[in-house]
Amino acid sequence: MKTILVTGANGMFGQDLVPLLKEKGYFVIETDIHNMDITKQVNAFFKENPCDVVIHGAAYTNVDGAESDPDTAFLINGTGSENLARITGELEIPIVYISTDYVFDGTKNTPYIPDDKTNPQSIYGKSKLAGELAVQKYNQKHYITRTSWLYGHKGKNFVETIIKLGKEKPELKVVDDQWGCPTWTVDLAKAVIKILEEHPYGIYHTCGSGETTWYGFTKKIFEVKNIKTPIYPVTTAEFPRPAKRPAYSVMDNAGLCQHWERAIEEYSEVLV
């Protein structure tokens, strides 16, 4: 039985990943800030808790907050990832690093492939790219899995927020000029496991298939939840945010995840 160490095990992604790993027969070492602070010395923890693989899901994910707190974003996403990359590289332990579509600038008009040039436009994106580069530099046995527009039952996310607003507000305005790939945490977890078991080291895009805008995503959510609140498309310029978002961050996932519309239908069937 292989032992897999998961960072960010208490996060939205981690809480869906860990049970799936256990179902597959893996022994899981669950870590989070309470038992392993990745921004500090992690070598002792690894010596006391030997493992065969690391899935690194811990991250600073406040996209707008990073603009006013870049030190924390880079400490967690950059330095923390480097710490893990160094020790796993030394011990020759494969590492899976969960990254983001925000490493791209959004200027393409066709889906991004793993080899496309990165050019993050936000502090968050830059900090996640720093993590990618550290993993590539210090551990040859690496998988980088970029995901996007992530939602799940175990954490705050766009789907739950928009459902709540749809029930409270008489109407909603939603951005319709940012294109991306909504991704369910369960689908991300399944894709990561599949990559570990079947694919060589490298960079992968693990996001929902297809593409949509936040407005299109909202329309589908309201359809499956039977919410009748009127929604109106607006531009990004009408809703300025501290962090710049890529206008088009659609990624080609090479069939690793199901279509985003089917995923939100499945998610909604068990949404409480």
* Cα–Cα distance measured from residue 167 to residue 25, given in angstroms and rounded to the nearest whole number: 41
Cite the active site residues. Answer: 124
CA distances for 30 relative to 49, 54, 87, angstroms: 11, 10, 17
Going by C-beta distance under 8 Å and a sequence separation of 6 or more, which residues neighbour residue 67? 122, 123, 124, 242, 243
Residues written for the chain: 272
**Angle, CA 56 vertex, CA 51 and CA 57 arms, to 5°:** 135
**Angle, CA 243 vertex, CA 237 and CA 248 arms, to 5°:** 65
Q: Where are the alpha helices (DSSP H) in the chain?
A: 14-23, 43-48, 65-68, 70-74, 81-91, 123-138, 158-168, 185-198, 214-225, 260-269
Kindly state the DSSP code that residue 104 receives in the 8-state scheme: S
